Structure 1
Amino acid sequence: MKIYVAQNSGFCFGVKRALKKTFDAAEERKKRIFTYGPLIHNKQAIEKLTDLGVESVDNVESAKESTLIIRSHGIPLSIYDKAKKKNIEIIDATCPFVRRVQEIAREYYNKGYKVVIIGNPNHPEVIGINGWCDNNAYIIENDSGVKDIEFTPKMCVVAQTTITLEKWNSIIDKLSEKAGELREFNTICLATKVRQESCADIAKKVDAMIVIGGYHSSNTQKLFEISKKYCENSIHIETSDEIPFEMLEGCEKIGITAGASTPEWIINDVVKKIENKGGD
């Protein structure tokens, strides 16, 4: 049995940065520490933060006179003002790539453009971006959403950083058919692109593909979709305890990739368990 682990898997730059800021704050512990929403979409990592006394809240009222860490997904612009009024210290761990999307949305909204966000309307990153243009953006998750748009003379399009390039291109093609002036900003994160390409490359050559990551992680879900496209025998798990060994029986080549919120120790644990089982 041969195991192929995607070179580009596990924590991305934005997640590493957010975790470092959070662990540093927990070590200093000047005040109670909260994160605005779960810091990352990984249950095991969140449990470690909880052990350090870092709690998650979904509104600033619950974090009065404390330290509030903004997760890598970012937040609506209005939350910063609310936090300031509540005497809350902000540690901003918004991913720089996400901040760029927020600033583009803000800039073009102020210039009179109608902003279109391609992404999941329920994802915190998209909710945050929309909050930088006063929650007035059109949010499109798939091709069918284009028909619901009221086209204006000037439009600006940005992307949730974790969507697939295939989705971006497909929706842009449909928007271009109807739009007048259309300013396109492909804001898919480079790490996301490389991660997805690496996943596809491995999925094409293996008998089974394992995608590791939180079930609520958008980028992990995208990896699973890509993996399934090239390898029907694809499995999405959170930890090594969920490995369905019956699906790996008779497989000579097994591929492994992981979402941007998956700790390295979880990836290593999955690899080790498969290796040990293969040696039985």
Structure 2
Amino acid sequence: MFNLSVDIDINSGFCFGVVYAIEMAEDILNEEGHLYCLGDIVHNDEEVKRLEKMGLRIINHEELKSLRDAKVLIRAHGEPPSTYQLAIQNNLELIDASCPVVLKLQNRIKNSFDKEENIYIYGKHGHAEVVGLLGQTNDQAVVFQDIEELNLEELPSEITLYSQTTKSTDKFYEINQMLQENGISVKTNDTICRQVSNRDKELREFAKKFDVIVFVSGTKSSNGKVLHKICADQNPRTHFVSSIGDVKSEWFGKDERVGICGATSTPMWLMEEIKGHLEKL
């Protein structure tokens, strides 16, 4: 027996956008027993499996084209205008669970596009949220993951800068400063969700308090990769797991203190399950 003392980070787990989407899905599944969802409702396989047992069916954009007369959930990441147009053509009822923070950002980008501004978006190529943002500009905005992707000498003298909502605030302002230092006039729009970005600071403090950190996240979660690195930088004995099956007893010593934390897409029930497992080791 290891006799581990285990604590879960109270700030970890679903952000309000994900809570909102899952509650909408559960309400319909409880009433009707089936619902389509465009893309993974959340980047966590264990949570997706739980909802699939309730009757959720994950479909992709290709499958959406041939779907008719059905209810389809739009997840928290949001969608481009083309998805809404397709829904009208195919008589689909969209249950729109787009995160309010994402919707506000989409509107701001659309306004900038209507004013014919040069729009640059700091975000992950191909990420669902970014695809929705690009759609507001007829795919004309420039998306970059790193400032090194941009040729600063060829950039317009004036640009409008936005960010995917889950990016690091520090990195965003670093990029903003570099652009200005290179003589570019930047109209900066800080559109990063503070519920997500504040987790950086909270996790730094949390990771230092324990002998071992078990970071729980789905492998598809961008936010999970970023937050896991933050924990690992503070505590080298940080281990990434997606389910109980990934936990290894050789990570722990007798009477050690273990902290469990996770991404904005990690369900609390999964962290509780892992806590119970560790307490039995």
* TM-score by shorter chain over 0.5: yes
1:238 equivalent in structure 2? 242
Deviation track 1:179-218 (CA, whole Å, cap 9, x = no partner) reads: 5431111111111022222111111232221111101011
User: Cα distance, 1:247 vs. partner?
Assistant: 1.7
Write the deviation string for residues 70-123 of structure 1: whole angstroms up to 9, x where unpaired: 000011112111111111111100000111111111111111111111111121
Residue 14 of structure 1 corresponds to 17
Instruction: Quote the Cα distance in structure 2 between the aligned partners of 1:244 and 1:146.
Output: 42
Tell me which amino acid in the other structure corresponds to 1:93.
A
Secondary structure of the residue aligned to 1:256 is strand
> Which of 140, 144, 147 does residue 143 from structure 1 map onto?
147
1:133 counterpart SS class: coil
SS across alignment from 1:7: coil
Question: Following the alignment from structure 1 to structure 2, what is the Cα–Cα distance between the partners of residues 35 and 107?
Answer: 28
Q: What residue ranges of structure 1 are gaps of 5+ in the alignment? A: none
CA distance in 2, matches of 1:62, 1:54: 18
Q: Give the aligned residue type for 2:29.
A: A
Contact 1:119-1:159 within 8 A present in 2 as well = yes
Whether 1:257 aligns to 2:261 is yes
Match of 2:195, SS state, is: helix
CA contact (8 A) 1:158 1:185 kept: yes
Q: Which residue, out of 163, 182, 185, partners 2:167?
A: 163
SS in 1 for 2:151: helix
Structure 1 position 260, deviation (Å): 1.5
Q: Deviations over 1:233-252 (max 9, x none)?
A: 21111112211221223573
Shift in Å, 1:170:
2.2
Cα distance in structure 1, aligned partners of 2:104 and 2:154: 26
Matched with 2:179 is 175
Deviation, 1:52, is 2.4
Instruction: Select the residue among 24, 31, 38 that pairs with 1:28.
Output: 31
Question: Which aligned runs of 4 or more in structure 1 are off by greater than 6 angstroms?
Answer: none
Change (3 A) 1:3 1:27: closer
Q: Name the SS of the counterpart of 1:83 in structure 2.
A: helix
Please give the alpha-carbon distance, in whole angstroms, between the structure 2 residues aligned to 1:251 and 1:128: 48
* Residue in structure 1 matched with residue 277 of structure 2 by the alignment: 273
Q: Identity of aligned pairs, percent? A: 27
Letter in 2 for 1:115: I
Provide the aligned length of Structure 1 versus Structure 2: 276
* Aligned residue in 1 for 2:50: 48
Q: Distance in 2 between matches of 1:25 and 1:177?
A: 51
TM-score (norm 2): 0.91
TM-score with structure 1 length normalisation? 0.92
Where 2:22 maps in the other structure, the secondary structure is helix
Give the letter for the 2:167 counterpart.
I
Q: Which runs of 5+ in 2 are unaligned?
A: none
- The CA distance in 2 between the partners of 1:239 and 1:24, in whole Å, is 26
AA at the equivalent of 1:190 = R
- C-alpha RMSD of matched pairs (Å): 1.9
CA–CA distance in 1 between the matches of 2:252 and 2:191? 37
- Distance (Å, rounded) in 2 between the aligned partners of 1:45 and 1:92: 19
